[in-house]
Amino acid sequence: VWHSISLSPRVSHAQYGGVLLNSWLDRDLSIAGRVLIKQNGKIASQLVRLDGPLCRVPQLAIHLDRDVNERGVALNRQEHLAPILALGDHDLFTLVAKECGVTAKEVVGTELMLFDSLAPARGGANGEFIFSARLDNLAMSLAAVRSLIASADRALKGGAIAVAALFDHEEVGSDSVTGAASGFLPRALSRLARRFAQSDDEAHRIFARSLCVSADMAHAVHPNYPEKHEARHKPRLNAGPVIKINSQQRYATTATTRYLFKQLAEEANVPVQEYVNRT
């Protein structure tokens, strides 16, 4: 989850997705995203990332907030989370343009985000932990792409079409034009199926025979807050993938797909855990 930066005559910030506001305090932040560049009458899109610590949202010193430990950190999204970039006036366009190798006037549009610039690291007594931002859902994206590459030849020989779908904007409901709730994936799969089908009916049959694994991250039980989990369903770190089950149909798991996933995991000699939300 990031905060977004909007470039205009005056820089503004806005929250993206569900976020623990206090976790953004006193972190080394930088800026990355997409820039539109106009040169010779043509518009081009370019990705940009400003490396190294660039911004910070400093927490108010305890001398000015004496009872913070008793009442907790109370933050106003508008007033208290604006990142500090420089002393005095500074044109963020200039920084972004320099990184892109163009002039500030040639930058005509931006979609920029703040991100934690601290590099991921292994931790724990035996190096068993991964300390990193954005694990949800980069970990599953990596697993999906690796699986697609590893299974490509076998899928083709078996007459199957292997697909990995990675989406933007899950944190705000997946409702963007490139999100999972958009029409992009159904259209792409329909076009793909029609490549191998002679009619719409046959394409629908291909979909009916297909299976989908919706892969996300599960919340392992927090040793300081075990009561937040259902007593008999407490996922543990490094104890295997988690099958999420929800009677309110928030997850697509059924008895059939649950069994099939367990069978695949057993064939790969991978342990499996099961998870139900605390009622």
Mean pLDDT score of the chain: 88
d(CA 188, CA 207): 12
Contact 90, 37 (CB under 8 A): no
* pLDDT at residue 3 greater than cutoff 80: no
101-127: pLDDT as tens digits: 999 899 999 999 999 999 999 999 999
pLDDT band at 44 (very low <50, low <70, confident <90, very high): very high
Residues 120-169 pLDDT 10s: 999 999 999 999 988 888 899 999 999 999 988 888 887 788 899 998 88
Strand ranges in 61-183 using DSSP code E only, listed in sequence order:
107-116, 121-123, 129-131
* pTM of full prediction above 0.85: no
- Could you tell me which residue, 93 or 201, shows the higher pLDDT? 201
The structure tokens listed for 64 are 């000015």
Residue 278 has pLDDT above 90, yes or no: no
pLDDT at 9 > cutoff 70: no
Q: What is the pLDDT of residue 96?
A: 92
Give the whole-number percent of the chain exceeding pLDDT 70: 96
For 21, counting Cβ atoms within 10 Å of its Cβ (0-12 exposed, 13-18 middle, 19+ buried), the class is: middle
pLDDT tens across 52-64, in order?
899 999 999 999 9
User: Residue 226: its pLDDT value, please?
Assistant: 93
pLDDT at 90 over 80: no
Q: Residue 198 class from Cβ within 10 Å (0-12 exposed, 13-18 middle, 19+ buried)?
A: exposed
Residue 6 has pLDDT above 60, yes or no: no
pLDDT digits (tens, 9 = 90+) for 14-37: 888 888 899 999 999 999 999 999
With a cut of 60, say whether residue 4 has pLDDT above it: no
- How many residues make up the chain in this entry? 279
pLDDT for 10: 59
Q: Regarding predicted confidence, which is higher, 181 or 36?
A: 36
pLDDT in tens, 218-247: 999 999 999 999 888 899 999 999 999 988
What is the pLDDT at residue 177?
84
pLDDT reading at 258 higher than 60: yes
Query: What pLDDT sits at residue 1?
Result: 44
